[in-house]
Amino acid sequence: MAQLLSSPCPSVISLSSSSKNYIKPFGLNQTFFNHPQVLSTSSLKGLLFQEKKQTRRRRRRSCVFRAAISQQAPPETSTNDSSSSKPKRVMVIGGDGYCGWATALHLSKKNYEVAIVDNLVRRLFDHQLGLESLTPIASIHDRISRWKALTGKTIELYVGDICDFEFLSESFKSFQPDSVVHFGEQRSAPYSMIDRSRAVFTQHNNVIGTINVLFAIKEFGEECHLVKLGTMGEYGTPNIDIEEGYITITHNGRTDTLPYPKQASSFYHLSKVHDSHNIAFTCKAWGIRATDLNQGVVYGVKTDETEMHEELRNRLDYDAVFGTALNRFCVQAAVGHPLTVYGKGGQTRGYLDIRDTVQCVELAIANPAKAGEFRVFNQFTEQFSVNELASLVTKAGSKLGLDVTKMTVPNPRVEAEEHYYNAKHTKLMELGLEPHYLSESLLDSLLNFAVQFKDRVDTKQIMPSVSWKKIGVKTKSMGA
């Protein structure tokens, strides 16, 4: 049973005839979570304290804003919908997160009608673990309000947990999406390896949430296109080329095209593998149309839309639990901490700029899969080893007058530290992706950004504290 954490606005819009109310567009500050056992009492109090402060400001303008919405002009036609004057409707699940927020703004700017569905649990993780984004980020309500004020475009907001199917189904029936972009999963491999409770939460949240989305599409939107964020980590590091989702094999004189083998390396990555199998099955059984974006490691923080105002600013994680390699290295360089290279540093992965993340999602939506088709795109633009990234940051930092050094850290993960890696990534390029490659100017920008906010860095969060081999049953406290 979902828990209602707060309901300061008296004019809640009910999406069903049941006694349970859900947030429909904007400014109604109600939050639902399905897994209170994972969320500590102190964390909930911390979140509520922050929400109360933000609510005082919102209350003064909420009624005015709703009046403004009711008087808005008809929405503009989507640039990707030449056959109809009606804009395409896109539901972004997980739209308050790192990739989701940037994507929601980008699609709104491109004249899609956008709704964000989010349970805001990513913010709660910060309270749980004593973490904080390098960049100060506004509440989701203030973010959406600022976007409306700057652009005149409305982003609808549904706050709730997609593991609660009643909430999800009511949101689907209310918004009626043409496409669903699904970012709404626990996205950190280290988080899934902290302890048993986080491993269970990750698998339950990710797998059950995705199954619920598939059932919602089947029941309430048969033509809806699912764009699901997967991960290149599903493939592992095989000693052969990584294809885009499928591989053609000849065995004992017979040939077949089969799903590419999966070699996940954490409970998080395994949840993504389970998602892929479930989506592939429902495409075959129910005729669902789906695109699985196996994304590489994302870096950067700025997009054209998030740069429009400080309240639109995206989060940037630099800690060892949620921070990605290049973002972490840039922050470490900014505060004079040695770059933390795990093990031998030969671990090679695909990388992409967050500006390319939003571009890839838009391309997938504009070129949907066919009914019954489960297609897989490898979503990255370049490959780097950890050592190569460290060298690039060291070189860029020295040009800015930073004394950048690196240190070898015992690898907390179970992974190959030197290996072959050659992954194909042509399908999105064929659809028109124009990549932002990792350049000196981009590194300079990211380093300068890190220097700008270096006073917000908690250096105690830099070194890894989660061990793949030492994960245990006892719930581990990670707070500062």
Check residue 223 and give left, alpha or beta (phi > 0: left; psi -120 to 50: alpha): alpha
Under 8 Å between Cβ of 73 and 154: no
For this structure, is 235 an active site residue? no
For residues 243 and 344, give the distance between their C-alpha atoms in angstroms, rounded to a whole number. Answer: 26
Q: Contact at 8 Å (CB) between 347 and 386?
A: yes
At a CB cut-off of 8 Å and minimum separation 6, what does 203 contact?
192, 267, 270, 271, 274
Task: From the candidates 191, 268, 299, 342, give the one annotated as an active-site residue.
Answer: 268
> Would you call 103 helix, strand, or coil by DSSP?
helix
As a residue count, the chain comes to 480
Residue 420 known to be catalytic: no
- Give the Cα separation of 38 and 161 in Å (integer): 14
Neighbouring residues of 439: CB distance < 8 A, sequence distance ≥ 6: none
Task: Give the count of beta carbons closer than 10 Å to the beta carbon of residue 69.
Answer: 13
Among residues 103, 154, 210, 231, which one is catalytic? 231
Nearest to 314 by CA among 129, 454, 104: 104
**Catalytic residue at 272?**
yes
In this structure, what are the phi and psi dihedrals at residue 378, rounded to the nearest 5 degrees? -85, 115
Q: What is the DSSP letter of 438?
A: -
User: CB burial class (10 A; 0-12, 13-18, 19+) of residue 30?
Assistant: middle
Which entry of 24, 272, 406, 427 is annotated as an active-site residue? 272
CA angle at 310 for the pair 177 and 453, rounded to the nearest 5°:
120
Q: What is the DSSP letter of 16?
A: S
Active site residues: 231, 268, 272
